[in-house]
């Protein structure tokens, strides 16, 4: 049996843009993607700490080092610039893999930059 577990998380990133007239997705700074081991087109869940909205979409890499967190398309209606979001990726694993799995946790600073 396969179970779905948290693979990685970008915790408390700040939304920098919301682009309604775009073909869906979330654009995320490549530095954050690399740190969280999330790849282009991967499905993610977005949890908005400001209003409780939860949504699923796919990832588009954003310019490295910019701190970009941009909700695109319909998802832009569920956030405001400045909102704090949690971005979660999941993976299917068997029970033994899941027990041994250590998710990648990324805690960016207030400007969505990696804390070194």
Active site residue 89: no
Helices (H), 11-115: 30-36, 95-100
- Give pTM, 2 decimals: 0.96
List beta partners, residue 92: 4
- Domain 2-95: give its CATH code: 2.40.40.20
pLDDT in tens, 24-78: 799 999 999 999 999 999 999 999 999 999 999 999 999 999 999 999 999 999 9
Whether 116 shows a pLDDT value over 90: the answer reads no
State how far the Cα of 109 lies from the Cα of 56, in Å rounded to an integer. Answer: 24
Whether residue 65 contacts residue 114, with contact meaning beta carbons closer than 8 Å, is answered with no
Active site residue 58: yes
User: Which entry of 8, 22, 25, 90 is annotated as an active-site residue?
Assistant: 25
pLDDT in tens, 78-107: 999 999 999 999 999 999 999 999 999 999
User: Which entry of 8, 22, 58, 89 is annotated as an active-site residue?
Assistant: 58
């Amino acid at each position: 049996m396969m179970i779905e577990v948290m693979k990685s998380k970008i915790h408390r990133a700040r939304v920098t843009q919301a682009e309604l007239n775009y073909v869906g997705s979330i654009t995320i700074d490549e530095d954050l993607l690399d740190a969280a081991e999330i790849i282009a087109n991967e499905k993610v869940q977005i949890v908005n700490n400001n209003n409780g909205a939860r949504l699923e979409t796919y990832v588009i890499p954003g310019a490295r080092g910019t701190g970009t967190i941009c909700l695109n398309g319909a998802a832009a209606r569920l956030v405001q610039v400045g909102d704090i979001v949690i971005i979660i990726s999941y993976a299917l694993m068997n029970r033994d893999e899941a027990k041994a799995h250590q998710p990648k946790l990324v805690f960016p600073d207030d400007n969505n930059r990696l804390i070194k």
